[in-house]
Amino acid sequence: MNDLILYGDPRSTYVRTARMACEEKGVDYSLEAVDLAAPAHRRVHPFGAMPAAKHVDRILFETSAICHYVDEAFDGPPLRPQDAYGRAQVEQWISATVDYLYEQMARRYILQFVFPSGPGGKPDMAVIDAARGEVARQLAILDHHLQRAPFLVGDELTLADLFVHPLLYYLIRMPGGQELLEPYGFVLRSLRELEYRRSFVATAPPL
């Protein structure tokens, strides 16, 4: 029952989140590359995105669903608190990542450097410059919530951290990223706490 397959690109922050969940739980899994447009991939992810997962005859798509399944279906340390408020807070941060953080940090900042689409094949600095202020505002929100501990919810790592930190990993490595993060000491502390964690090291994407 431990033959879990993840489908996706290791450079994807969402794929990394799913992989980190497996690593934290001690789940044996394999990662298979995908062609998002291929009919075979559409059979596991009908919207042609990633990650998707297969466990025996069970197929799942979307990061949150996969992570929740991994957390509940396998032994290992829980990735969500046991109390209702704590679990709701985890869902809050998952939604915030998907709805707000990814748009500004990934699409409008990180990916502009990774896949340049500006004039002459260079990064579109107009898009990047426009995103800086919102990224800084989001970092300030994270910094506020990380004052008490290096984890977003409670005193232990949860799925909330696994969704947010792959974005921060890339952000600090982009041009201007270090300067953006510098004012937010609690965010930097949280990054330092996770960067040597086994799940973080084992899933580090190729840069």
The pLDDT tens digits for 21-64 are: 999 999 999 999 999 999 999 999 999 999 999 999 999 999 99
The pLDDT tens digits for 93-146 are: 999 999 999 999 999 999 999 998 888 889 999 999 999 999 999 999 999 999
Please provide the average confidence, as pLDDT, over all residues in the chain. 96
Q: What is the pLDDT of residue 120?
A: 86
The pLDDT tens digits for 14-32 are: 999 999 999 999 999 999 9
pTM (2 decimals)? 0.95
Gap between the Cα atoms of 17 and 22, Å rounded? 9
The rounded percent of the chain whose pLDDT value lies above 70 is 99
The alpha-helical segments, DSSP class H, found in the chain are 13-25, 39-42, 63-73, 84-96, 111-114, 125-145, 159-171, 177-181, 185-195, 198-202
Give bridge partners of residue 32 from the DSSP assignment.
Answer: 7
Three-state SS string over 131-154 comes to HHHHHHHHHHHHHHHCCCCCCCCC
Could you say which DSSP state residue 40 is in? H
Q: How confident is the model at residue 202 (pLDDT cuts 50, 70, 90)?
A: very high
> Residue type for 88, please?
A
Is the Cβ–Cβ distance between 27 and 74 less than 8 Å? yes
Name the helix (H) or strand (E) containing 55: strand 52-55
The pLDDT tens digits for 136-185 are: 999 999 999 999 999 999 999 999 999 999 999 999 999 999 999 999 99
Q: What is the pLDDT of residue 2?
A: 60
Gap between the Cα atoms of 41 and 15, Å rounded? 15
Label the pairing between strands 29-32 and 4-7: parallel
